[in-house]
Chains A and B, each alone.
Chain A
Amino acid sequence: EAQVTQNPRYLITVTGKKLTVTCSQNMNHEYMSWYRQDPGLGLRQIYYSMNVEVTDKGDVPEGYKVSRKEKRNFPLILESPSPNQTSLYFCASSHRGRNNSPLHFGNGTRLTVT
């Protein structure tokens, strides 16, 4: 089944404790992206990657890191989480260069930082 898999689904952590949210897709998509979703603010892009070893900042990259060592994986790293990073996070992927290619979303990771 074609899908984007992110883990964990729920995560509660404390300020300053490094964490990684994993994301993997099995559709051979070149483009991958991370979004966060907050009430009243909608989906905001954190980082994106157009291909292996190519990453770039989105609209709200502060406090986040990503890597794209393999085509299928695009982990999101919070080196020192803070309470303002409490949010619902989505990983998404699509074909690059095809305007009609929709973003396919993972099931989301609900992160709480205390």
Chain B
Amino acid sequence: GQNIDQPTEMTATEGAIVQINCTYQTSGFNGLFWYQQHAGEAPTFLSYNVLDGLEEKGRFSSFLSRSKGYSYLLLKELQMKDSASYLCAVRGFYNQGGKLIFGQGTELSVKP
């Protein structure tokens, strides 16, 4: 089967650091994506990992361990506008059209 797990909700304080975890079990792996989605809006692309290690992009970083089926998204210097849902997605086999399989998302609330 295919399964992607993320915590449902997290709360953090403005200016702090938060780590959102994602574990996956999929029949194929061609990379892992993180998306940000504000309520009622389209998901927007944040990061892509295909090799083990950390990818840093400004205040956001994403980590991947393929052997553990594990990734996390690290958000630094949190701002109120970072309150959103964060979606972890795995790209499957090419013969499935390179389909992205999404987790249910982690709702992050940033408090003052």
Q: Is the CB of B42 within 8 A of A31?
A: no
A35 to B87, CA, bound (A): 14
- Mark interface residues in A90-111 (1 if CB within 8 Å of B CB, else 0): 1000101101111111111010
Measured as residues with beta carbon below 8 angstroms from the partner, the interface class of chain B is 20 to 34
Q: Which of B33, B42, B50, B105 is within 8 Å of A102, CB to CB?
A: B33
A45 to B48, CA, bound (A): 20
Chain A contacts for B31, CB-based, 8 A:
99-100
Q: Least Cβ distance of A32 to chain B in Å?
A: 10
Chain A contacts for B70, CB-based, 8 A:
none
Q: Is the CB of A58 within 8 A of B99?
A: yes
- Mark interface residues in A50-66 (1 if CB within 8 Å of B CB, else 0): 10000010100000000
Residues A99 and B43 in contact in the complex (CB < 8 Å), given A31-B98, A42-B105, A48-B97: no
Q: Is the CB of A103 within 8 A of B40?
A: no
Q: Is A11 an interface residue (CB 8 A)?
A: no
Q: Is the CB of A31 within 8 A of B102?
A: no
Q: Is the CB of A102 within 8 A of B45?
A: yes
Instruction: Sample 16 A-B pairs with CB under 8 A, ordered by A number.
Output: A31-B97, A33-B99, A42-B103, A42-B104, A45-B100, A56-B97, A90-B43, A94-B98, A97-B94, A100-B31, A103-B33, A104-B45, A105-B42, A106-B42, A108-B41, A108-B42
Q: Least Cβ distance of B62 to chain A in Å?
A: 13
Chain B contacts for A105, CB-based, 8 A:
42-44
Q: Least Cβ distance of A29 to chain B in Å?
A: 11
Nearest A-chain residue to B49, judged by Cβ: A100
Q: Is the CB of B40 within 8 A of A108?
A: yes
Chain A contacts for B104, CB-based, 8 A:
40-42
